[in-house]
Amino acid sequence: MGVPVDDDVLEIGGRRFRRGERGHVDLLVGSLVSHAELELRVDVIRGRKPGPVLFVTAGVHGDELNGVEIARRLVKQQFRGLKGDLLIVPVVNMAAFLLRSRYLPDRRDLNRLFPGNSDGSFGARVARTLMDEVVSKATHGIDLHTAATGRINLPQTRMADRVEGSREMAKAFGAPVMLKAGNREGTLRAACEKLGMPYVLFEAGEAFRLDLPAVTFGFRGVMRVMRSLGMLRRSKKDLEHPSAYCVGSHWRRATAGGLFRALVPLGKAVQEGQILGVVADPFGEGETEVVSDREGIIVGRTTASLVDEGDALFHIAQSKASPEKAEERIIQSAEDVIPEVDRAPYRDPHSDV
Ligand SMILES: [Zn+2]
């Protein structure tokens, strides 16, 4: 991790950016099967005054589009009075994006290949390029994701407490839920943690689909983090509607296979013993209720209507406050993002309720 060596010049991919300058660099990663060159585009926005260097990445998984839209909106933003620098990579995994796939052409997950290797697989080279040219030049990072195919997530930040500053970033982001979560080897998050870099991951919505409330939460969250880091002028409004802080989570799985109907929306507080959904035998032989095994908040769930026994159905997080208090916070945080919101804290297109 480092601040630019020469305080006035930030060099990315051989291009030198002076203070107050903005532009982009296409970093060459390698050639694809078609012989076409694959490039990693980095948008650079430099403030006139020094400050933190924040990277924002999206599309590490090629089918996760909400982050790409958030990054696109950031690239178009003016950022008057910016202190420090913003490095935006709207599509990290372009090879997967072209395939409309979560995974790389060799079916590997780019988010298991960090920090990468310049002599390694194609994905390892993408990871290394991002680390060398973007992450290593930053002081803070935000990575934007959605749930994997077949699942949907309530807008939420995920962070570990191990690196100082990460929790403060997640707090400033102000997503409806802030979830303390472990880390897997090979993720961009783990690579940043090893560098001691404050970092937050944002998860919202589902794969292949632009979800405007999710995009709004994400865009607003990045701007809030920038203000909290002193990159932009602070706003008292940012302290309103703190996230519901959750310290752990688990998946409630199907205890039978069949046709699945959900009975609770994302963001809902649930009690132990509460019926969350129903799995029906397709031949009308009976229905099995999906019962919550503990209290918590629904932060994610399957979008599938056909499930096998054992399939993950509801992602339930344990909040620090009571689930009802957490639900209240989620509703409040959604109010200025989704004005039409009434009872449901977050529009869940797959819910029966
Ligand atoms: Zn992802």
Ligand 1 centroid–CA 41 distance in Å is 19
Measured distance CA(181)–CA(348) in Å, rounded: 23
**In terms of domains, do 199 and 90 share one?**
yes
User: CA–CA separation, 340 vs 181, rounded Å?
Assistant: 31
> Over 90: is that where the pLDDT of 123 sits?
yes
257 lies in some domain: yes
Burial of 197-227, coded b for 16+ CB within 10 Å and e otherwise, reads bbbbbbbbbbbeeebebbbbbbbbbbbbbbb
341 pLDDT band (50/70/90 cuts)?
very low
Please give the pLDDT value at position 335: 76
Residue corresponding to tokens 């990072």? 141
Give the residue among 302, 273, 269, 304 at the shortest CA–CA distance from 289: 273
Expressed as residue numbers, the domain containing 39 is: 9-239
Q: What pLDDT digit, counting tens, does each position of 289-324 carry? A: 999 999 999 999 999 999 999 999 999 999 988 989
Query: pLDDT tens digit string along 40-70?
Result: 999 999 999 999 999 999 999 999 999 999 9
What is the percent of the chain where pLDDT is above 70?
93
CB-CB neighbours of 308 under 10 Å: 12
> Is the pLDDT confidence value at 101 over 60?
yes
Which neighbouring-strand residues pair with 300? 153, 315
Query: pLDDT class for 349, splitting at 50, 70, 90?
Result: low
CA of 125 to the centre of ligand 1 (A): 19
Residue-level pLDDT at 351 = 62
161 and 251 inside one domain: no
Q: How many angstroms is it from 50 CA to the middle of ligand 1? A: 32
The verdict on 230 and 305 lying in the same domain is no
pLDDT, mean over the chain: 92
Q: How far is CA 189 from CA 86, 88, 108, 156, 292, in A?
A: 18, 16, 17, 15, 30
Q: How far is the CA of 59 from the centre of ligand 1 (A)?
A: 7
Write out the two tokens for 294.
Answer: 């503990």
CA 38 to ligand 1 center in whole angstroms: 21
Calculate how far, in angstroms, residue 159's C-alpha sits from the geometric centre of ligand 1. 14
Distance CA(133)–CA(87), nearest Å, equals: 10
Instruction: Compute the average pLDDT of residues 257-285.
Output: 95
Please give the distance, rounded to the nearest whole angstrom, from the Cα atom of residue 317 to the centre of ligand 1. Answer: 19
Q: Could you tell me the pLDDT band of residue 139, with boundaries at 50, 70 and 90?
A: very high
Tally of structural domains, the chain: 2
Overall average pLDDT of the 130-151 stretch: 97
111 C-alpha vs ligand 1 centroid, how far in Å?
A: 8
Q: Are the C-beta atoms of residues 97 and 61 closer than 8 Å to each other?
A: no
Find the 231 Cα to ligand 1 centroid distance in Å.
27
Let me know: does 158 contact 175? Beta carbons within 8 Å: no
Report the separation in Å between the CA atom of 60 and the middle of ligand 1, taken as the mean of its atom positions. 6
Q: Which residue has the tokens 């297109």?
A: 349
Taking the centre of ligand 1 as the mean of its atom positions, its distance from the CA of residue 207, in whole angstroms, is: 8
Instruction: Kindly state whether residues 254 and 227 are assigned to the same domain.
Output: no
Using H for helix, E for strand and C for coil, what is the string for 156-178? EEEECCCCCCHHHHHHHHCCCEE
Given a cut of 80, whether residue 218 has pLDDT beyond it is: yes
- Mean pLDDT confidence for 223-236: 95
Q: H or E stretch including 131? A: helix 122-133
pLDDT of residue 343: 41
Query: Do 215 and 325 lie in a common domain?
Result: no
Phi, psi of 165 (to 5 degrees): 105, -20
- 197 and 259, same structural domain? no
Q: Ligand 1 centre and the CA of 110: distance in Å? A: 10
State in Å: Cα 146 to ligand 1 middle.
Answer: 5
User: How high is the pLDDT of residue 86?
Assistant: 98
Question: Ligand 1 mean position to 334 CA, how many Å?
Answer: 22
Cβ neighbours of residue 66 closer than 8 Å, sequence gap 6 or more = 144, 146, 204, 205, 209, 210, 211, 214, 215, 218
- State the distance from the centre of ligand 1 to the C-alpha of 88, rounded, in angstroms: 17
Residues 46 and 123 in one domain: yes
CA distance 304 to 301: 9
**Is 82 in the same domain as 227?**
yes
In this structure, of 16-20, 100-104, 123-127, 333-337, the range with the lowest mean pLDDT score is 333-337
263 or 213, greater pLDDT: 263
Do 88 and 168 sit in the same domain of this protein?
yes
Q: Which of 113-122, 185-194, 265-274, 339-348 has the lowest mean pLDDT?
A: 339-348
Per-residue confidence (pLDDT) for residue 219, from 0 to 100? 96
Residues 154, 178, single domain; the answer is yes
**In this model, does residue 340 exceed pLDDT 80?**
no
C-alpha 151 – ligand 1 centre gap (Å)? 11
Q: What is the pLDDT, as a whole number, of residue 239?
A: 78
How many angstroms is it from 72 CA to the middle of ligand 1? 17
CA angle 188, 194, 198 (to 5 degrees): 75
Any idea how long the chain is? 353
Per residue in 310-329, is it b (16+ CB within 10 Å) or e — as a string?
A: ebbbbbbbbbeeebeebbeb
Question: Both 200 and 300 in a single domain?
Answer: no
